[in-house]
């Protein structure tokens, strides 16, 4: 089926606080773009509060390559540049414009699912 990438914007910008997963953007599938995103320098992320049918839970991992991996975050401005340089999808380019408008200190959590 392929992998999906959901971007969760950390608008709290407070170290140690969980991020609520309602600030989400889902990129159109683009394997070559995703390969470039994987290469962006990242850091280990705090947990993400995710809503499910039966309530909320805090998640620290995502599925990538058939394995569970710790959530990682990248700077919004750097991610925006990578998307702009490597995608033709109008949706992905619009997401990049939004990310670029946030400022250089915003972090975006990469939530992979395959």
* Tens-digit pLDDT profile for residues 54-109: 888 889 998 887 789 999 999 999 999 999 999 999 999 999 999 999 988 899 99
Helix (H) or strand (E) holding 61: strand 61-64
- Per-residue pLDDT at 100: 96
Residue numbers of the domain that contains 18:
4-113
Q: How many domains does the chain have?
A: 1
pTM of the model: 0.89
> Does pLDDT of 18 surpass 80?
no
- Per-residue pLDDT at 16: 66
Partners of 60 in beta bridges? none
- Per-residue pLDDT at 14: 65
């Amino acid at each position: 089926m392929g992998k999906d990438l959901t971007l969760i914007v950390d608008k709290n910008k407070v170290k140690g606080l969980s991020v609520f997963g309602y600030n989400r953007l889902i990129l159109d599938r683009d394997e070559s773009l995703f390969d470039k995103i994987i290469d962006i320098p990242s850091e280990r992320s705090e947990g993400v509060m995710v809503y499910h049918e039966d309530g909320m839970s805090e998640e620290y991992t995502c599925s990538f390559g058939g394995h569970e991996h710790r959530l990682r975050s990248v700077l919004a401005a750097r991610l925006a540049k990578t998307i702009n340089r490597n995608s033709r999808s109008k949706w992905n380019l619009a997401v990049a414009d939004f990310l670029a408008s946030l400022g250089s200190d915003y972090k975006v959590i990469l939530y992979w699912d395959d």
